[in-house]
A and B are shown apart, each in its own frame.
Chain A
Amino acid sequence: SAVISQKPSRDICQRGTSLTIQCQVDSQVTMMFWYRQQPGQSLTLIATANQGSEATYESGFVIDKFPISRPNLTFSTLTVSNMSPEDSSIYLCSVVWESGELFFGEGSRLTVL
């Protein structure tokens, strides 16, 4: 299975600032996604991180708010821009493994004050 590392694991941020979350996979993977889990809620897909091109965003999520980079097949970043308390969530990256299974990182828990 894939080993997925996320940084930071948690952070407390001030309103109006931006935070970049990193996702590193120990093997090359084709498909990588970013999810958000708001407090007490289930997971919601933010976007598909495409290698070498712009990410594909789901309804309700825009590039200006959640810019995503994916420079290669093992690494991606998600930035949460101009944060507000409503952005307090766990952000998770996930990858599709060669077996077709979807694996998740340990998540980045973000609190915005």
Chain B
Amino acid sequence: SQELEQSPQSLIVQEGKNLTINCTSSKTLYGLYWYKQKYGEGLIFLMMLQKGGEEKSHEKITAKLDEKKQQSSLHITASQPSHAGIYLCGADSTSGTYKYIFGTGTRLKVLA
């Protein structure tokens, strides 16, 4: 079955630093989603990537999907304490079913 591996599992950075979170799939991804979760709360949708080589940005967050559609990265520029939380990647396990699987998450802490 398809699995999503995220790295690193946790990350502590100083405010203002850049960081990257990776999400790797064992199979080709039909769609890749990035979410942010504040501790113990729901998921906030960040970005959806569907095409190989696609890149999207929102404010200081940029997400990319590689050409083979098996790896995605989430990059935060000039991190702020408001970026702290758990970042999850999710993917459609079978094209068009919307039955998502999720990575184990990356816990980000930003030190002021």
Contacts and interface: CB of A to CB of B under 8 A. Distances in A.
Contacts of A96: 98
Interface of A: 1, 6, 31, 33, 41-43, 45, 48, 58, 90, 92, 94, 96, 100-107, 109
Contact of A43 (B45, B48, B88): B88
| Contact residues of A: prevailing secondary structure | strand
A37 B44 CA distance: 15
Given A43-B88, A43-B90, A109-B40, A102 B100 contact: yes
Q: How large is the interface on B (under 10, 10 to 19, 20 to 34, 35 or more residues)?
A: 20 to 34
A107 B41 CA distance: 6
B45 A48 contact: no
Nearest to B101: A45
A42 B45 contact: no
Interface string B45-56: 100100000000
A42 B88 contact: yes
Nearest to B97: A48
